[in-house]
Structure 1
Amino acid sequence: MILKTPEDTRALGRSLAPLLRAGDLIVLVGPLGAGKTQLAQGIGAGLGVRGAITSPTFVISRVHPPDPSRGGRLPLVHVDAYRLGGVAEVDDLDLDADVDAAVTVVEWGAGLVEQLVDGYLEIRLDRDEESDERTATLVPHGSDWDERLAGLLTVAE
């Protein structure tokens, strides 16, 4: 998917939100400035969670509970694994305690968090420096992600 603006990136997140359920893990992959936090903002908006979604780089993890006034239905656990040194440090966060009850979105999590669940969705974001356009590639790993994403991809085309 081509995302021409930051709002397009957030819109992709909002369009994913109805497909998400408790226990889902989304791993965001991409270089600095690719739009990982913007995508997480869209997911949070689509889930109707409380609080502004900002990069949790320094706190590593934030939990955003659902906001009933915004139609919130699931909590969002937003993690930035950039400063983590390995799987052992991820284990220290006790993310597996939250993963069953929430949607967990992890920036910089490739190779670190996949063991938390049986199936997860990887979203690769790349940014063209000249045009500032982003390209999003959705890569399902196990579970029923292929089936859930089929409707989203039909709408996007």
Structure 2
Amino acid sequence: MIPPAGAAPVRRELPTVDDTEAFGEELGHELAAGDLLLLAGPLGAGKTALVRGLARGLGVTGAVASPTFVIAREHPPSGHGPALVHVDAYRLGAADPDAGAADVAAELDDLDLDTELDRAVVAVEWGTGVAARLGAGTGAVEVVLERRDDETRVATLRRTGAP
């Protein structure tokens, strides 16, 4: 399902939240330790629902909820698979109305996420433009979620950077 870097993106219609979670689960089966997932889309587009499915696909433990107020949550593996680090970059820089991408990136650096990449799948909500450099050597998988007027979500999946 994940296209190689430079290939046409994959688009999937997701009529329900259950479909969004199932899409995440399918994606989780394809990811491995070292993979960086960047999630984009407006509030309510289904980013956390997708990560709930991703967690099932990876087989990690613990309930998945939005890490908005704690910024990052780690979900340990339940067996031989990788851990999942779920990050919400939405609030980074929120205290400073003049904060730019560089300021947010500096706050993201303080989380030491690059040390997690060798043993976990790192999923960053609101990470486009600020977290992509974490995957500088390996690239990232970007999922953009849109929500149509009929509540159907449309996911666009592409690989950025290296294969």
TM range (shorter): 0.7 to 0.9
**TM-score relative to the length of structure 1:** 0.86
Correspondence for 1:89: 107
Give the Cα separation in 2 of the matches to 1:17 and 1:29.
17
Correspondence for 1:109: 127
Deviation at residue 99 of structure 1 after TM alignment: 1.3
Letter in 2 for 1:101: R
For structure 1, the residue ranges without an aligned partner over 5 or more in a row are 145-157
Give the Cα separation in 2 of the matches to 1:76 and 1:143.
21
Give the Cα separation in 2 of the matches to 1:138 and 1:59.
27
Letter in 1 for 2:92: L
Aligned residue runs from structure 1 range 45-124, under 5 A:
45-68=56-79, 73-85=81-93, 86-117=104-135, 118=137, 119-124=139-144
Deviation at residue 94 of structure 1 after TM alignment: 0.7
Give the Cα separation in 2 of the matches to 1:51 and 1:21.
18
Q: Does 1:14 align with 2:37?
A: no
Deviation at residue 100 of structure 1 after TM alignment: 1.4
Correspondence for 2:159: 140
The two structures, once aligned, show a CA RMSD in angstroms of 1.0
- Deviation readout 1:108-149 (Å, 9 max, x if unpaired): 1111111111300110000013x11000000211333xxxxx
- Deviation readout 1:65-123 (Å, 9 max, x if unpaired): 0113xxx6110000000011211100111111111110000001111111111300110
Give the Cα separation in 1 of the matches to 2:117 and 2:72.
12
**TM-score relative to the length of structure 2:** 0.83
Structure with the bigger RCO (C-alpha within 8 Å, sep 6+) is 2
Give the Cα separation in 1 of the matches to 2:162 and 2:81.
21
Give the Cα separation in 2 of the matches to 1:31 and 1:11.
20
- Deviation readout 1:2-49 (Å, 9 max, x if unpaired): 000000000011111121111100000000000000000000011111
For structure 2, the residue ranges without an aligned partner over 5 or more in a row are 1-11, 94-103
Give the Cα separation in 1 of the matches to 2:110 and 2:69.
16
Moved over 2 A (4+): none
The number of aligned residues is 140
Give the Cα separation in 1 of the matches to 2:28 and 2:159.
15
Give the Cα separation in 2 of the matches to 1:59 and 1:95.
14
